[in-house]
Amino acid sequence: MTNGDALVALGRELMKRDYRFTTVTPATHARVNRRPENAEARNLRDVFGWSRPFRPQMLPDEVRELLWAADAAEEHGSLCRSRVRFSSYDRKLFVHSAYPTDATDAVFFGPDTLRMAGAVTAYVRSRVGPIGRAADIGCGTGAGAITIAKRAPEAQVTAVDINDTALEFTRVNARLAGTGNVRTRHSDLLDDVDGSFDLIVSNPPFMIDPAGRTYRDGGGAKGNDLSLRIVETATRRLAPGGALVLFSGTGIVEGTDPLRAAAADLLAGSDLRWTYREVDPDVYGEELDCPAYAHAERIAVVLLTATRPS
Distance of CA 84 to the CA centre of its chain: 15
133 and 268 both lie in a single domain: yes
* Domain boundary residue, one of 52, 70, 97: 97
> Is 104 domain-assigned?
no
82 and 123 both lie in a single domain: no
180 and 88 both lie in a single domain: no
89 and 231 both lie in a single domain: no
Please write the tens of the pLDDT for every residue from 154-197: 999 999 999 999 999 999 999 999 999 999 999 999 999 999 99
Show the domain range for 17.
3-97
89 and 212 both lie in a single domain: no
171 and 260 both lie in a single domain: yes
Look at the chain and report how many structural domains it folds into: 2
Burial classification of residue 300, based on how many CB atoms lie within 10 Å of its CB (0-12 exposed, 13-18 middle, 19 or more buried): buried
Q: What is the pLDDT of residue 104?
A: 87
Please write the tens of the pLDDT for every residue from 197-222: 999 999 999 999 888 878 788 999 89
The CB-side HSE value for 110 (13 A sphere, CA atoms) comes to: 21
Q: What is the pLDDT of residue 213?
A: 79
Q: What is the pLDDT of residue 99?
A: 97
Q: What is the pLDDT of residue 211?
A: 80
84 and 137 both lie in a single domain: no
Q: What is the pTM of this model?
A: 0.95
Residue 110's beta-bridge partner residues? none
* Domain boundary residue, one of 39, 66, 97: 97
CA distances to 123, 147, 203, 211, 244 from 152, rounded to whole Å, are: 11, 9, 19, 38, 16
* Domain boundary residue, one of 47, 73, 97: 97
> Is 105 domain-assigned?
no
152 and 287 both lie in a single domain: yes
d(CA 12, CA 140): 20
How high is the mean pLDDT in each 10-residue block of the chain (310 residues)? 96 98 95 98 98 97 98 96 97 97 92 96 95 98 98 97 97 98 98 97 93 85 96 98 98 97 96 97 94 96 97
C-alpha R_g of the chain: 20
Residue 276's beta-bridge partner residues? 304
Q: What is the pLDDT of residue 209?
A: 87
Q: What is the pLDDT of residue 222?
A: 92
67 and 182 both lie in a single domain: no
